[in-house]
Amino acid sequence: MNQKHEVITFKVEESLLRMMQGISNRSEFIRLAILSALNNVCPLCGGTGALTPGRKEHWSKFSRDHKMRKCGECHDMTIVCQKDKAA
């Protein structure tokens, strides 16, 4: 099965270019970095860093029963259902 490849180009600042000079296969590095980033996109904002008005409304309703808390083990932020505490 032949996979069709497409070439994508983009501009980088000189400082980023210098940081990438020691990487032997920059194309593979960039592909892996993009795949990693896509696997970690925020499910709420879709990776934009901002909520649309509709998503903000959904989040407001959801957050009535859910709060953001810092995990005591890994120290990352997590969402905790307040209804679980009432049970």
Q: Is residue 8 part of a domain?
A: no
Q: What's the mean pLDDT in 32-46? A: 91
What single DSSP character describes residue 74? Answer: T
Domain that holds residue 40: 14-86
Number of domains in the chain: 1
Q: Is residue 71 part of a domain?
A: yes
Q: Are 84 and 65 in contact (CB under 8 A)?
A: no
Q: Is residue 6 part of a domain?
A: no
Q: What's the mean pLDDT in 9-18? A: 95
Instruction: For residue range 60-74, list pLDDT tens digits in order.
Output: 999 999 999 999 999
Please tell me the pTM assigned to this model: 0.58
Contacts of 69 (CB under 8 A, 6+ apart): 77, 78, 79, 80
- Amino acid identity for residue 19 in this structure: M
